[in-house]
């Protein structure tokens, strides 16, 4: 083998070595898969960004004809509203904004078709109004679902905020920096707030200024308490205030507000119970208690 390699010309030997080195690299490039952390980072960075058609076709498949047609028929303010609601809901990967726009039109078309069949079978004012109402509700159904999911996510962030600030306060007082404390809180947490903290750190890591990344976090979530905390952090960074003091003060304020919200919900319970009590429980109680007496009175006067 050594004699054969020494007898080969230099260009042929270089070509053989190049092929021998290229085959393992080709196998690695074909069979290797990116890690879970790299995939999550890439998805976080491109989520909510309108990529060109070529990039979508190279990534997860190009947009279909229905999606393009729905985007052309939908007003820009509707698409912007859906984009804002999707950002508040955490931008579910299975429901991008173009698919939501297409779902609105498809649901409205199906509801309108069923309504026309029902109206043609039994025409009338009530039937027409019912079909129109169902069509309108079907058109706004994706927005209602996004709004509901966004509210649940905002409530979850509001509940987690006080505990997360306590963790970050402990980490900062132990000697870590603010971003290191944020990274530790994001790594230890499992809720939507931890996901948003990790995404903010990823934005900073790819070159976005800290102030813009923090403000984007507040705008993306839409939680007032978190926005107030972000403004306090930005002001502390601008004026050189100790971040540990800011975290301690904000954590105490968030715990106080969480307790006040719990007390407010507890005080609302008697008011909410009144309507089921009047409409459901009291009539049944009156029937059970007064029913036999009324029957006896009717029997007496009927003789």
pLDDT > 90 fraction of the chain, expressed in percent and rounded: 1
Residue 52 pLDDT class (50, 70, 90 cuts): very low
Report pLDDT for 15: 53
CA dihedral 212, 156, 158, 137 (to 10 degrees): 80
Contact 66, 57 (CB under 8 A): no
Q: How far is CA 270 from CA 37, 257, 273, 278, 281, in A?
A: 48, 21, 5, 12, 15
Closest Cα partner for 139 from 108, 106, 97?
A: 108
Structure-block tokens of residue 67? 């999606």
Q: What is the pTM of this model?
A: 0.65
The predicted-structure confidence for 235-251, as pLDDT tens digits, reads as follows 888 888 888 888 888 88
92 exposure class (CB count in 10 Å sphere: 0-12, 13-18, 19+): middle
Separation CA 14–CA 22 (nearest Å): 12
pLDDT of 176-211, one tens digit each? 888 899 999 888 888 898 889 999 999 899 888 888
Decide: 221 and 154 in contact? Cβ < 8 Å: yes
Dihedral of alpha carbons 122, 126, 128, 133, sign = negative
* Amino acid 19: pLDDT: 52
| Torsion from C-alpha of 99, 105, 108, 114, nearest 10 degrees | -100
SS3 227: helix
* Arithmetic mean of pLDDT over the chain: 77
Residue 69 scores a pLDDT above 50 = yes
Find the range with the poorest average confidence among 46-55, 73-82, 107-116, 281-290: 46-55
pLDDT category of residue 43 using cuts at 50, 70 and 90: low
User: CA-CA distance, 205 to 193, in Å (whole number)?
Assistant: 18
Percent pLDDT > 70 in the chain is: 75
Is pLDDT of 58 > 50?
no
Cα 281 to Cα 52, 206, 276, 295: the distances in Å are 60, 60, 7, 21
Q: Which residues contact 16 (CB under 8 A, 6 or more apart)?
A: 8
For the segment 265-291, the average pLDDT, to the nearest whole number, is 84
Task: Please write the tens of the pLDDT for every residue from 77-122.
Answer: 777 888 888 888 888 777 777 888 888 888 888 888 888 888 887 7
What gap in Å lies between CA 79 and CA 77, rounded to an integer?
5
């Amino acid at each position: 083998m050594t004699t054969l390699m020494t007898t080969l010309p230099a260009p042929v030997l270089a070509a053989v070595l190049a092929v021998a080195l290229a085959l393992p690299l080709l196998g690695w490039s074909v069979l290797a898969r990116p890690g879970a952390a790299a995939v999550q980072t890439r998805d976080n960075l491109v989520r909510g960004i309108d990529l060109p058609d070529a990039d979508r076709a190279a990534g997860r498949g190009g947009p279909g004809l229905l999606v393009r047609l729905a985007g052309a028929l939908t007003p820009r303010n509707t698409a912007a509203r859906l984009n804002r609601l999707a950002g508040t809901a955490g931008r579910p990967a299975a429901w991008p904004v173009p698919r939501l726009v297409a779902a609105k039109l498809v649901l409205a078309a199906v509801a309108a078709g069923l309504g026309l069949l029902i109206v043609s079978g039994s025409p009338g004012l009530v039937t027409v109004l019912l079909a129109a109402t169902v069509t309108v509700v079907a058109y706004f159904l994706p927005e209602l679902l996004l709004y509901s999911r966004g509210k649940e996510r905002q409530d979850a962030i509001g509940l987690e905020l006080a505990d997360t600030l306590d963790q970050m306060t402990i980490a900062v007082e132990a000697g870590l920096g603010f971003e290191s404390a944020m990274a530790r809180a994001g790594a230890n947490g499992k809720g939507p707030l931890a996901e948003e903290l990790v995404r903010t750190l990823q934005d900073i890591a790819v070159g976005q200024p800290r102030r813009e990344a923090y403000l984007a976090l507040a705008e993306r979530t839409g939680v007032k308490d978190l926005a107030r905390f972000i403004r306090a952090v930005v002001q502390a960074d601008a004026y050189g205030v100790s971040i540990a003091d800011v975290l301690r003060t904000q954590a105490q304020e968030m715990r106080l507000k969480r307790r006040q919200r719990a007390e407010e919900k507890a005080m609302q319970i008697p008011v909410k119970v009144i309507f089921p009590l009047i409409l459901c429980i009291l009539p049944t109680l009156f029937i059970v208690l007064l029913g036999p007496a009324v029957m006896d009175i009717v029997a007496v006067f009927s003789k």
